[in-house]
Structure 1
Amino acid sequence: MSMSPKSYLHATSGTPLTGNSLCDALDQSATRFPDREAFVFASKLKRQRITFKQLREDVIKLASGLVHLGLKPGERVGIWADNCYEWITSYYAMAYTKLICVRIVIGYNEVYFEHLANKTKIAALIIGPGDQERVLLNVAPELSNKTNKCDVAKLPTLRCVIHLDSESKQGTISYAEVMKIGNEDDLGQVTKLRETVHQDDEMMMLTTSGSTGLPKVVVKSHRCSLEGAHVYGRRFQDIAKTDVCYMSMNLFTHASGDLSTVAGVSQGYRVIVPDSNSDVEFLVSLIREECVSVACLLFSFVLDFLKYGKVDELCQSSLKYVITTGNLVPSEILIKARKILNLYSLLGTTETGFMTINNNPEKFEKTGCPIDHFEIKIIDDNGHIVPRGTVGELCARSPYTMLRYEDDEDKTKSVIDISGWYHTGDMCRLEEDGCIAVVGRKRDIIIKEARNIYPAEVDQVLVRHPKVKLSRTIGVPDERFIEEVCACVCLEKGEEITVDELLQFVRPYLPDFHMPKYILFFDCFPSGPTGKVLIPELEAKAKEMLGM
């Protein structure tokens, strides 16, 4: 009797792991390519060009300043700033001094910032100009009448605030001053600390927003950060078949920021960082003028390139391919984008890093195939590996997986088992071609008359309609079937459509019991500061609209 293959894959690799820390990566690139540009920070007004040699020199200066301020190995330092050169130097200076970088999301309000600062026990905060200054003063009004010493009631562990402005503000010390205050003794201490840095040392903390409550704090090591970025950097070079010039719009504070902050340093290629306010016209000119070969763009920019007729210009440029991260949207527009722009999609989680890569335009409903050094398996409710083609929970194991959730052993144990498998909570199936198809979240299953319905299956059909911008399908109470299907929809700006028209559109693609009983229209969905839809609030609003 023949047995179906198991839903298990190990993505072997011709790219070995490096065994390096972030410090090793920068030291090696600064030695091998001292005069090569490492970063170009570009706005419409100016371009700041940084070589690997200059980057390392500035990192050592800043590291000496951090030691001079009395910061000790293992202490946590928050960085709350938009993409800029100082973000990069701060990140690597923390690595050299064995400090732990806490990446704070731009847009956090007072509640989220205070929660994160106290959860991670930050000893110092590096802050850039922007609305975060207002938020900080609301949480720490004591800073407004201090010089550069911290004594903040709501943030008891905070001892120092470093401001990225050239001049220090009340209650802070300027970044420029920290760059100057390190002395020979401080430099000697940095050298000693650098010699003890190991790739398994804790290096950073970043947040991952759940659909409810305050964000969890993910702890990662040098290994988690570097090895994944190194593998992807190697993949960029293999696909481009040329020297890589990488441009990214992703925020450094996000998990995908490692593709910008680490991959180029590890591989020794140039990274172009556009201003966060860049428009399509500027990005096209930047790609052409800087000879960009690989661009990492949000989906909105991919769509803008198509919408504003810029594809021909891109096709005639140096651009070899486009990477997009974080979305799984199987629309006809994205299939068109892949055919024209050579689009690759990367998907993963904050806890695991990017797990899959997909460049098949006919399979955008799938996440793609596992990336190098990943093991994946699909299991049933009893933990047994299911046959290929069978839906179950996706689990992953790799060198890139987080160490833990900070100060939350129970949550850590709930997602990482004793064998090191991370349980994603995603319901997937592994197909014969090795691609992973996402069906939905484990907890999002709608059970209608004893039948399981995965919301993503309905959403993936609805977003194909050209007038539909976003769709989130939820379950709502039903007297007969216990639960019914309710599709919550946001339309493109200025568009109108009736419920009947949408139902006619989706009917050919969905089984009868998947058909939404209700379709509700929203201007926007309730979301947290990172943009993730808050499902409980959406469910409550939907019930209110339905009079339940």
Structure 2
Amino acid sequence: MATQKLTKSYIHVPKKEPFIGLTVGQQLYKMAEKYPDKEMFVFYVDNERFTFKQMKAKSQTFAASLVSKGLKKGDTIAILGANHSEWIVALYASIQLGILLVPLRMEFPHSTIVAIMNKLQCKAIILTRSPDELLDRACEYFPEMKSSPAEQLKSDCCPHLQFLVLCSKSAKKLCSKTGVYSYDDFMTLGNETDFSKVEEICQSLDIDDPCCIYFTSGSTGMPKPAVHSHHSILNNAMTGAFFRMGVDNFNCNWESLRYMVGVTLSGIGTVWGTYLPIARGCTTIVLYPAFNAGIMAEALQNERVSIGTVLIHQAYDLLNLPNIDSYDFSNLKLMGMGGSIIPNELRQKMKKLVQYTTNCYGMTEILMTHMGDPVDPPDKLAGAATYTIDGLETKIVDDNGIIVPVETVGEILVRGYSAFKYYLADDLQTKEIKDINGWIHTGDLGVMDEAGYLTMKGRKKDIILKEGVNLIPVELEAVLHEHPKVLAAMVIGLPDERVGEEICACIRVDRDNSPTEEDIREFCRGKVYALLVPKYVIFFDEFPTTPNGKYSRIEATRIAKKAFNIIAY
């Protein structure tokens, strides 16, 4: 908490611990020596376990094979598929060589995958062992896998592509062609000289060199590849937003902490899980990206998970498991929740599963930046307020970029060590979000109080303009979440010839216990500004989501327009 009452919406929180001054690869080597036989990663569904020593060896072997294929610092390779050990192995291998791993998503259409691979000049693509349809998709994308007789794979759609690595056991029949390797065969390509080069290159890299890519969620447009440095990634994992109160308050230590990743490895939601082991010496449990609440509950229990993070829809699904009370979550100390503004009612319900819950806020371009502390004052917890994590600055500005007084809505800007370097191959868009002073323009609206706490007010682009009045959707969403029959709510604006935009409430419900449209309107009357009472109400079994797992307002708007036969005016 700020030591003095703030009058302007600006705060800087000093860093309590020194930065890690090593690259990710160098830190991996250090931790493999310190904790050689300790579990680093557990891939729960595959029942695979890797110690620090084993992960170092595996990733070095993969890196040596990359060296044998002539790849070098600054090159890019892509990966596509579900959460398996080969994903982490390929990531840590590429990082040791200064090669950028491009994390493609299964939700991307063929045209987007080809466009990204060409724009970023990817020289290879790794296909993980699942999902099952992945190999068929790959054969469709790259028919040359079956027919090319050339010494090196030549792809018509991706001219920079030199080879593929297929991790599926059923792909063996395709791996006789030069340039198409099974995972096991690829791991044998490196020789003694290649292994020596891996360590030599790794030790030569600098903390400010490009380390990895994360794509923006695509919730407001085409996903963009944000490049982070070793310094930003490793130290954000070390600081970790939910570490504001420190693990000592959870009656555990870093080495015993077991952290669960329940989302796809391609998104920033896994930054902590991917790098926390080398930052802090703890263990990460990885689940599949195709979320299954039953598997998550089972993993939380069986792996004795200490800390987990869930997106808002995952939290609802976990709570609604029919047999949720039969699981033993006694080791679970804290659950961080993010992906949207977390209703207080949801936080209260989660307390039946876990002692502490906390709100997370961040974005791809600057990783995790704010967190609610479980021991914050009750009014801050009820309002989903968060606080800037160590080493970062936050300010709230008006449309002219001027810092606003406290308790005033404005755009959230954040600055600090965890900021991304740039969007790969896109200087123009980089300058649009990262200004000359290093501030990241989040596009989110928020309010800062005199103690420095930040309360989210939604996306700047989500503001609904009705009858000349700017309306903030989150204000109505907060009320809708109080309705006993509403599982989740999202508010959007639909075009209207007369008033500009009309309010549409998207409601996720249990079809067997669903309210009516008029029930929803009546519930809102008197609780929100009259202009916010929704004209339109549409019910969903599941909300559409972006590849990062966030609610997709773009897709929800498309569905609602079609349902109500609305055209843009």
Q: Give TM-score, length-normalised by structure 2.
A: 0.88
Query: Does residue 319 of structure 2 align to residue 306 of structure 1?
Result: yes
Query: Does residue 162 of structure 2 align to residue 159 of structure 1?
Result: yes
Q: Which residue of 1 aligns with 2:112?
A: 112
Query: Does residue 86 of structure 2 align to residue 78 of structure 1?
Result: no
* 2-structure distance, mates of 1:117, 1:33: 37
- 3-state secondary structure, aligned to 1:155: coil
Query: Does residue 49 of structure 2 align to residue 49 of structure 1?
Result: yes
Contact kept? 2:340, 2:550, Cα under 8 Å? no
* 2-structure distance, mates of 1:248, 1:311: 22
Query: Does residue 287 of structure 2 align to residue 274 of structure 1?
Result: yes
* 1-structure distance, mates of 2:260, 2:566: 49
1:64 deviation in Å? 0.9
1:178 deviation in Å? 2.1
Query: Does residue 306 of structure 2 align to residue 297 of structure 1?
Result: no
- 3-state secondary structure, aligned to 1:291: coil
Matched to 2:397, the amino acid is: I
* Match for residue 378 of structure 1 among 365, 384, 396: 396
User: What do residues 216-261 of structure 1 show as CA deviations (whole Å, max 9, x unaligned)?
Assistant: 1211111221111111199263443312122221221111211111
Q: Which residue of 1 aligns with 2:271?
A: 258
1:477 deviation in Å? 4.2
Task: Mark the CA change 1:334 to 1:142 in structure 2 (over 3 Å): closer, same or farther.
Answer: same
1:275 deviation in Å? 4.7
Matched to 2:389, the amino acid is: I
Task: Mark the CA change 1:475 to 1:303 in structure 2 (over 3 Å): closer, same or farther.
Answer: closer
Task: Mark the CA change 1:119 to 1:280 in structure 2 (over 3 Å): closer, same or farther.
Answer: same
* 2-structure distance, mates of 1:393, 1:516: 25
- 3-state secondary structure, aligned to 2:83: coil
- 3-state secondary structure, aligned to 2:300: helix
* Match for residue 29 of structure 2 among 27, 30, 39: 27
Query: Does residue 359 of structure 2 align to residue 345 of structure 1?
Result: yes
User: What do residues 48-100 of structure 1 show as CA deviations (whole Å, max 9, x unaligned)?
Assistant: 22111111112211111110011121100112132122211111111111111
User: What do residues 1-32 of structure 1 show as CA deviations (whole Å, max 9, x unaligned)?
Assistant: xx961101112232221122101221111111
* 2-structure distance, mates of 1:128, 1:407: 26
Greater mean alpha carbon deviation, residues 537-546 or residues 317-326: 537-546
Task: Mark the CA change 1:182 to 1:234 in structure 2 (over 3 Å): closer, same or farther.
Answer: farther
Greater mean alpha carbon deviation, residues 147-156 or residues 252-261: 147-156
Task: Mark the CA change 1:486 to 1:306 in structure 2 (over 3 Å): closer, same or farther.
Answer: closer
Identity value in percent: 31
User: What do residues 456-511 of structure 1 show as CA deviations (whole Å, max 9, x unaligned)?
Assistant: 22222223323334433233344554433232334334343222210111223202
Query: Does residue 257 of structure 2 align to residue 244 of structure 1?
Result: yes
Q: Give TM-score, length-normalised by structure 1.
A: 0.91
* 2-structure distance, mates of 1:471, 1:547: 21
Structure 1 segment 488-499 matched on structure 2, within 5 A? 488-499=506-517
Q: Which residue of 2 aligns with 1:16?
A: 18
* 2-structure distance, mates of 1:78, 1:504: 51
| TM-align CA RMSD | 2.7
Greater mean alpha carbon deviation, residues 452-461 or residues 411-420: 452-461
Structure 1 segment 474-485 matched on structure 2, within 5 A? 474-478=492-496, 480-485=498-503
Greater mean alpha carbon deviation, residues 420-429 or residues 136-145: 136-145
1:423 deviation in Å? 0.5
- 3-state secondary structure, aligned to 1:247: strand
Matched to 1:225, the amino acid is: I
Matched to 2:472, the amino acid is: Y
User: What do residues 502-530 of structure 1 show as CA deviations (whole Å, max 9, x unaligned)?
Assistant: 01112232022222233234566665555
Number of corresponding residues: 544
* Match for residue 209 of structure 2 among 189, 201, 212: 201
Q: Which residue of 2 aligns with 1:394?
A: 412
Matched to 2:22, the amino acid is: N
Query: Does residue 365 of structure 2 align to residue 354 of structure 1?
Result: no
* 2-structure distance, mates of 1:477, 1:404: 35
- 3-state secondary structure, aligned to 2:212: strand
Greater mean alpha carbon deviation, residues 33-42 or residues 490-499: 490-499
* 2-structure distance, mates of 1:461, 1:540: 24
* 2-structure distance, mates of 1:88, 1:540: 36
Contact kept? 1:365, 1:460, Cα under 8 Å? no
